[in-house]
Amino acid sequence: MASPIPFPPHIAALKAYIPGRGIGQLASELGIAPERIAKLASNENPLGASPLAIKAMADAAIDVSRYPDNDCTALVAALAQRYGVPPDWVVVGAGSESLLGIAAATLLTPGRKTLYPQYSFQAFVNAAQRLGAMPIVAAAPELAVDLGTLTRGLGEEPALVYLANPGNPTGTCLDPDSVRDFLARVPPHVVMVLDEAYFEFMPAALRGDSIALVRNHPNLLLTRTFSKAYGLAGLRVGYGIAQPALADMLRRVRPPFTVSDAAQAAAVAALHDEEFLRRTLTVNAEGLHALQAGLETLGFSHLPSSTNFVLTEVGDGAAWSRRLEREGFIVRPVGNYGLPGWLRISVGTPAEVSGLLSAMAAGARNPT
Ligand SMILES: *Cc1c(COP(=O)(O)O)cnc(C)c1O
């Protein structure tokens, strides 16, 4: 709608974020119980959250009249210990998405450039656009990150480079030597964000020592999250690890009090619940294998995933999404990423995976 308010052009060009349909919303539309809906659209943990995290959250949520600990003292200490870094290398944020925004706000201004691969996570792209930065998009003709075009993009003199490994929505990952070699080419005055939201799901052979990269590169910010493998997406907790000069600047830019005490306490407990993480990774590995094998049997190609979701080529992603919703499965069409022929499907419980594959088999027989 036309408005007399003079929004800057890069703000007026922003698109609204469209989240997946909610379980409650679809259940009432279909007139069925919410338990019969499988949400496989946001790469959430199908096992829920660690019971220890839930208890810690409940215990910590009692006094909501106080502002939370802005320094996230206990969580920072736990993460510093886990990774063997000093506490001032750790920056906690309201989801790692908020850290992507903070990194962008710290480095980008109108006219500065930011480099990222085609098919990069929308949240980073939007954060850069909000700041009026000029995007340099490294073409990815095979969908997975193309290190050749990304390396050439460095010649355009970006202030900030963004690389998710594994990527979303692709699910693919680079081998650790390639990441290390690319980082060695990033000039020291250029900051790089290495987004490892799916780190825990990566096969051991593909997992590099990213903490060592942070030690060797004062211009590197590594981000991870409690939203995916740890099952705390609703609480909004993520973190970054960087050397102190960069970390200190990020903390100054970060808005205060964005991570509640309940979220901080749950994250500390989740970090220590190794049994829950192990179970999550086992269920995911089996589900991922079944989902990829099932899609292949049905004749749908997919990218090789190192995450808890699969990007699969179905022909018309939006039509398939609507068809599967009628069967109680919420999946993610990715037309907004420029991939209208693809669907992103999160790995669910074994029952959810087999139910989804049956619905896709029926849909493939009777396209409507
Ligand atoms: C899910 C995701 C995140 C962050 O999620 P938060 O809930 O904000 O921590 C970051 N990067 C990628 C690539 C993701 O898929």
The 10s digit of each residue's pLDDT in 147-174 is 999 999 999 999 999 999 999 999 999 9
Q: What is the mean pLDDT of the chain?
A: 95
Backbone angles phi, psi at 330, to 5 degrees: -95, 115
Question: Which atom from ligand 1 is nearest to the alpha carbon of 167?
Answer: 13
The pLDDT of residue 368: 61
Q: What is the per-residue pLDDT for 291?
A: 98
**What is the per-residue pLDDT across 12-28, written as a single tens digit (0 to 9) for each?**
988 887 777 889 999 99
- Looking at the DSSP bridge assignments, the partners of residue 332 are 344
Query: HSE of 102 in the Cβ direction (CA atoms, 13 Å)?
Result: 27
Distance CA 356, CA 351 (A): 8
Residue 167 CA to ligand 1 center (angstroms) comes to 10
Query: Which percentage of the chain shows pLDDT scores above 90?
Result: 91
How many A from CA of 256 to the centre of ligand 1?
20
What is d(CA 127, CA 149) in angstroms, rounded to the nearest whole number? Answer: 22
121 CB near ligand 1 (under 6 Å): yes
Q: Which amino acid type is present at position 360?
A: M
List, in sequence order, the alpha helices (H) in the chain.
9-12, 23-30, 51-60, 73-83, 96-107, 122-130, 147-153, 176-185, 210-216, 244-253, 261-272, 274-297, 317-326, 350-365
Q: How far apart are CA 312 and CA 303, in angstroms?
A: 7
Class of residue 165 by CB neighbours under 10 A (exposed 0-12, middle 13-18, buried 19+): buried
Label residues 306-335 b or e (16+ Cβ within 10 Å = b).
bbbbbbbebebbeebbebbbebbbbbbbbe
In this predicted model, what pLDDT tens digit does every residue of 243-290 receive, in sequence order? 999 999 999 999 999 999 999 999 999 999 999 999 999 999 999 999
96 lines ligand 1 (CB under 6 A): yes
128-143 pLDDT tens trace: 999 999 999 999 999 9
Degrees (nearest 5) of the Cα angle 103, 106, 109? 115
Alpha-carbon distance of 106 to 104, in angstroms, equals: 5
Query: What value does the mean pLDDT take over residues 101-120?
Result: 97
Per-residue pLDDT tens over the stretch 309-323: 999 999 999 999 999
175 compared with 363, residue with greater pLDDT: 175
- Of all atoms in ligand 1, which is nearest to the CA of residue 100? 10
Query: Where residue 210 falls among pLDDT bands split at 50, 70, 90?
Result: very high
Cβ of 127: how many Cβ atoms within 10 Å?
Answer: 24
Q: Relative to the CA of 168, which ligand 1 atom is closest?
A: 13
Q: 97 CA distance to ligand 1 centroid (A)? A: 5
- The distance of Cα 184 from the centroid of its chain, to the nearest Å, equals 24
Give the closest residue (by CA) to ligand 1 atom 12.
197
**Is the CB of residue 95 below 6 angstroms from any atom belonging to ligand 1?**
yes
What pLDDT score does 3 carry? 85
Q: Give CA–CA dist 231/308, Å, rounded.
A: 12
**Closest ligand 1 atom to Cα of 226:** 9
* 307 close to ligand 1 (CB < 6 Angstrom): no
* Predicted confidence (pLDDT) at residue 367 exceeds the cutoff of 90: no
Total residues belonging to the chain: 368
Angstrom CA distances, 87 to 72, 231, 244, 270, stand at 11, 24, 9, 19
Q: Which atom of ligand 1 is nearest to the CA of 96?
A: 9
Q: Are 312 and 300 in contact (CB under 8 A)?
A: yes
Whether residue 108 is predicted with pLDDT greater than 80 in this model: the reply is: yes
Per-residue pLDDT, 20: 75
Yes or no: say if 175 and 207 are a contact pair by the CB < 8 Å rule: no
Express each pLDDT in 55-84 by its tens digit: 999 888 667 888 999 999 999 999 999 999
pLDDT at residue 247 in the model? 98
